[in-house]
Amino acid sequence: MTRDALLALGVVMAGATQLSLPGSTFGYGELLLALWIMLSIGRILAGGRTVLTPALTELAGFWLVMAVALAFGTIVAYFTSILYLTGLVHDTEAYLLLVCITCLAAAEPNADYHLRRGAWWVIAIANATLAIQVAQGWGWLSGANIELWYWDRFRGWSENPNQLALYCAIFGTLALHLATTTSNRWAKFLAIASVFFTFYVGRLTKSDAYLYTSILTCLTFLGLGIRTWIKTAGNKVSLSRQAILLLLIGSIPMAVSITPYVLSEASTLENFAKSLTKDNGGEATAGTAELRLYLWDAALEKGVQSGSMGLGPGPHVNRPPTWERQFDFLTRPFEAHSTVLDLYTQGGAISVLALAWIVGTAVMSAWRAKLDALVALMVSIVIFSIPHLIIRHPIVWFALTLCLVAGRPRELSPRLEPMKVA
């Protein structure tokens, strides 16, 4: 197995949190990623070549700022509140793993080629593992004592349905990028098939966030595709180009003219929208929204109380008053279930600004390179991060690193000398 395939296998299996090593809290994904890190470091120590690219300098700068912000936050928490070592150690280990993965991947010679090949491996492994999970979920294969369903929501090998939905959102958009940038017909067909298959699995999770993310990502990709098609057409006059331009020009007055009819059918549209969500927009959706609003408000209050310095790695939100009574013995804090707000409670305003900068840089890199599917991929990650904490998932950082490298694969320095071992 090549290192690219090993990285892909580790990234995919990191979402299989129900599968863990016997007698250990570590999953197979973490073990595979740690093995990839050791092999990559071993390659460098053995005299392997490394390169300095814009992506590497940006990632190294981001993680340096994050380390300083989280360290200051931990100091603030030490003097102002109670430190929960379990969450602190867990998040610190996760961040260290992500630092090694992103920086080592960006420092590879021909990082663009390796990450693209790794992306193909990700899609292939994802399709295989998702097919096995679906077969187990429908009872066609033995589930091996794994809880594949959370009530009527499919979660596969993941801890919860939303985690599986995040992976499906990224798998699908990543497959779309590969389908639109390959010239091989069979590869294009398989990538497009993967888009539809991962969408099917994502809908089995009944995740509202996945539904909204899929719709907005699709609209983003279509809009960018039309923009690219019109710009690349240049001054060529064609019937199809003129039709598209007329449609775009006429869309504004058309939208104004049909507004009264849309408003008159508002109840029908509302019912249709609710039918797409879990529980048809009923008690489950309302309860989730109420819980999220409480957690977000509490997280914002915690961040402000720390002077916007944060409280270090780990969750910091107090237990919701509506939490199940059978869990009263749990006193540990909760996560806010929002990437920005959770990061605000950990590293303060500095870490939030650093995250906004690295995500914005990845979006602009893909935009300038005219990689529309990668821009849509970043949009899907941003949308999914609003109601969920996703910063610790390796698949997110694999996608972000791919965008940074694919947008600007050139080297800043032809060679970095490997470390000498006596």
C-alpha to C-alpha distance for 98 and 320, rounded to whole angstroms:
30
Please say if the pLDDT value at position 267 is more than 80.
Answer: no
Give me the percent of the chain exceeding a pLDDT of 70.
79
Q: Which residue has the higher pLDDT, 63 or 298?
A: 63
Query: Does any domain span residue 267?
Result: no
Query: Does any domain span residue 118?
Result: yes
C-alpha to C-alpha distance for 138 and 390, rounded to whole angstroms:
28
Query: Does any domain span residue 396?
Result: yes
Please say if the pLDDT value at position 421 is more than 50.
Answer: no
State residue 329's pLDDT score. Answer: 43
Max Cα-Cα span within the chain: 79
Please say if the pLDDT value at position 249 is more than 70.
Answer: no
48 with 57: CB under 8 angstroms?
Answer: no
Beta strands in 79-191 (DSSP E): 149-150, 153-154
Please say if the pLDDT value at position 162 is more than 70.
Answer: yes
Between 162-166, 272-276, 296-300, the lowest mean confidence (pLDDT) is in: 272-276
Please say if the pLDDT value at position 106 is more than 90.
Answer: yes
Of 360, 359, 365, 393, nearest to 112 by C-alpha is 365
Distance of CA 144 to the CA centre of its chain: 28
CA dihedral 287, 289, 291, 297 (to 10 degrees): -160
Q: DSSP letter at 279?
A: G
Total number of domains constituting the chain: 1
Of 221, 210, 220, nearest to 180 by C-alpha is 221
State residue 272's pLDDT score. Answer: 41
Query: Does any domain span residue 256?
Result: no
C-alpha to C-alpha distance for 406 and 365, rounded to whole angstroms:
8
Torsions phi, psi of 364, nearest 5? -65, -35
C-alpha to C-alpha distance for 299 and 343, rounded to whole angstroms:
10
Between 26-40, 116-130, 133-147, 182-196, the lowest mean confidence (pLDDT) is in: 133-147
State residue 21's pLDDT score. Answer: 77
Query: Does any domain span residue 273?
Result: no
Please say if the pLDDT value at position 251 is more than 70.
Answer: no
Mean pLDDT rounded to a whole number for the chain: 84
Query: Does any domain span residue 260?
Result: no
Report the run of H or E that residue 309 belongs to, with start and end: none
Of 420, 365, 287, nearest to 59 by C-alpha is 365
Task: Tell me what the mean pLDDT of segment 17-26 comes to.
Answer: 78
Query: If you search the block for the tokens 């663009």, which residue do you land on?
Result: 112
Give CB contacts under 8 A, 24+ apart, made by 76-80: 76/306, 76/307, 76/309, 76/310, 76/311, 76/312, 77/306, 77/311, 77/312, 77/316, 80/305, 80/306, 80/311
State residue 143's pLDDT score. Answer: 73
Query: Does any domain span residue 345?
Result: yes
Q: How far is CA 144 from CA 100, 127, 137, 252, 358, in A?
A: 33, 20, 11, 55, 40
State residue 82's pLDDT score. Answer: 80
Which segments of 233-282 does DSSP mark as H helices, in order? 239-264, 266-276
Report the run of H or E that residue 188 belongs to, with start and end: helix 185-204
Report the run of H or E that residue 181 belongs to, with start and end: helix 161-181
CA-only gyration radius of the chain, Å: 23
Q: Is 416 helix (H, G, I), strand (E, B) or coil?
A: strand
State residue 265's pLDDT score. Answer: 47
Query: Does any domain span residue 376?
Result: yes
Give the structural domain span for 163: 3-251+292-416
Q: Which residue has the higher pLDDT, 259 or 36?
A: 36
Q: Is 149 helix (H, G, I), strand (E, B) or coil?
A: strand
Count of C-beta atoms within a 10 Å radius of residue 83: 12
